[in-house]
Chain A
């Protein structure tokens, strides 16, 4: 298993540009999430999905769109990038059942810089 994969690892954008951060998992997990990590802020939830076709907003959703057309993929779209979106982005997944072994698996992260 590759686990949770994210592409790209690094990206530089200009203000106003759009892009999609890719996230895929091969563990057949129902839950997938996007977090952003900023210095001194920990990780904050952007959007999440409880299954294909179902998404919902997290703590900091503004400026981001998501969709979940398949179980495996959960892309994060920036429609018009702003410098405030400079951050490290993590995708995570976990099985759908809520049990003690219900651990979140994180991707390696994408470092995004918006100039």
Chain B
């Protein structure tokens, strides 16, 4: 069975600084997708970024980028120029190529200090 591990329950970053959230996963599949979701206090689940396992190039979305290391089964999220609005829970998630549903990590609570 696939598992997703986020080893940092809480992280803190100064406004305008850079922070990296860690995620590791375990799978025997070769084709899959990885995601980072943001959950602000409103509870809404917001897709931040996604990565296809067959792509070697790391995904980037504005201030958000990932470091995808397929052999190490690692998928970290880097947030550059952190803003107060980035404060939220961040969930790493896995989806196999033929699966319909996501497997989530336990989340990392990110605080941004002004």
Contacts and interface: CB of A to CB of B under 8 A. Distances in A.
Contact of A108 (B43, B52, B97): B43
Interface of B: 4, 6, 9, 33, 42-45, 47, 50, 52, 91, 97-98, 100-107
A58 B101 contact: yes
A33 B43 contact: no
Contacts of A50: 100
Interface of A: 31, 33, 35, 40-45, 48, 50, 58, 88, 90, 92, 94, 98, 100, 103-104, 106, 108-109, 111
A94 B91 contact: no
Contacts, number: 52
A90 B101 CA distance: 13
A66 to B, nearest CB: 13
Contacts of A92: 45, 102
Contact of A42 (B50, B98, B104): B104
Contacts of B98: 98
